[in-house]
Amino acid sequence: MPVLNEVDYLERAVRTVLAQQIDGPSEIVLALGPSTDGTDDVARALAADDERIVLVGNPGADIPKGLNLAIRASRHPTIVRVDAHSELSTGYAHRALETLARTRAANVGGVMRADGRTPFQRAVARAYNSPIGLGGAAYHGGTHAGEAESAYLGVMRRAVLDEVGLFDESIRRGEDWELNLRIRRAGYRVWFDPTLAVTYWPRESWLRLARQFRATGAWRGELVRRYGRRNAVRFFAPPALVVVIALAVLTGVLQATGILSAWVGLAASVVYLPVIAYAVLLVAVAAGSGGGRGWRDKLWTLAVLPTMHLSWGTGFLAGLLAGAHGTVDTSRLGSRNTPLP
């Protein structure tokens, strides 16, 4: 578990891991980044209370580096990746190990069930759980078990990880997708099991969400630079939306200033149609039964969806054109997370 500024979430996450019942010994290795909110104190207290908890330093704070440090410090033949912002469901590890053995896969993952406590966080969770929000990958609500492109978090065979070279530390976001690509290229299977569920708590503020998605989009653009069409088509939808909106704005400016002739301006107006369709879709999703408990939830849904799409799409175009380079997700840096009730 890579950990950075998770003082409000870490203990719950660790408790759900320690509560897993499996046949055989286990441990949980926490790779501690340079937190500024007291997270390390929580981690040390947890480790002092349970000898199964092992602490390693991750001074660079990068997720793939932290994962590799934790894996190298581990002692067992199966690696269960967990996240400090998530909670494993009861029986998760036991079922995952059974699926790993039954399917002879190298990596098994399940469903990310996003949840929230505030109107904003609930809106983000609904976007995560909806195919409109994140494109409909299997782990965002799939119901059929089978081979998959990637796996959320993942329960992995250590021998396969050693064979393919662990996580690529030059990739700061999307490292799981890239690892699973190498696993599949090596001839192994990645398996999706919808009976496995992990509760995920999204970012707690609009700015944090925008930062997260811009960084994630930038690294997806970088992965497209590196791996081309091995990336699924759904990854190209947000940047296409950004391009269409930019063209619509440019067309509007040219029409308003009279630069375009009447006939040309009329023909160019077709660019408004996908933008209008997108706006109608947003309103329909926000107002529908999945829009939330009350008007605040619905309004946040109306704001969250374009924030995710446009931040991700803008980041993607930047990463595709110039590379992600040192782009990092700053949504976990700095101030303390919002306290939970």
51: domain CATH number is 3.90.550.10
297 with 187, same domain? no
Establish if 338 belongs to a structural domain. no
Does 160 lie in the same domain as 241?
no
In a domain, residue 85? The reply is: yes
Regarding whether 105 and 22 lie in a shared domain, the answer is yes
Q: Are residues 80 and 28 in the same domain?
A: yes
Q: Which pLDDT value is given to residue 264?
A: 83
Are 255 and 148 contained in the same domain? no
Contact 30, 70 (CB under 8 A): yes
What's the pLDDT at 297? 83
pLDDT score recorded for residue 289: 59
Give yes or no: residues 14 and 136 share one domain: yes
Which among 173, 134, 168, 177 is positioned nearest to 324, based on CA atoms? 173
Q: Chunk the chain into consecutive blocks of 10 residues (it has 341) and report each block's average pLDDT, rounded to whole numbers.
A: 95 95 94 95 97 96 95 96 94 96 96 91 90 75 86 96 96 95 97 94 93 96 92 92 96 90 85 95 82 76 95 97 90 53 33
Do 103 and 156 lie in a common domain? yes
Residue 208 maps to a domain:
no
Residues 191 and 74 reside in one and the same domain? yes
Class of residue 278 by CB neighbours under 10 A (exposed 0-12, middle 13-18, buried 19+) = middle
DSSP bridge partners of 108: 155, 191
- Same domain, residue pair 120 and 157: yes
268 and 174: one domain? no
> Do residues 190 and 231 share a domain?
no
Structural domain that includes position 77: 2-202
Burial (CB count within 10 angstroms: exposed 0-12, middle 13-18, buried 19+), residue 5: buried
Which of 202, 219, 243 is the C-terminal boundary of a domain? 202
The residue from 202, 235, 251 where one domain ends is 202
Contact call for residues 185 and 313 (beta carbons, < 8 A): no
* Number of independent structural domains in the chain: 2
- The predicted structure's pLDDT at residue 286: 86
**pLDDT value at position 291?**
53
Per-residue model confidence (pLDDT) at position 334: 55
Residue 260: inside a domain: yes
Residue 160, domain member (yes or no): yes
Bridging pattern class, strands 53-57 and 28-32: parallel
The answer to whether the beta carbons of residues 135 and 236 sit under 8 Å apart is no
Considering the domain architecture, whether residues 10 and 137 belong to the same structural domain is answered as yes
Answer whether residue 127 is part of any domain.
yes
Residue 215 lies in a domain: no
Task: Choose the final residue of a domain: 202, 236, 264.
Answer: 202
Q: What is the pLDDT of residue 341?
A: 33
Residue 207 belongs to a domain: no
pLDDT of residue 132: 86
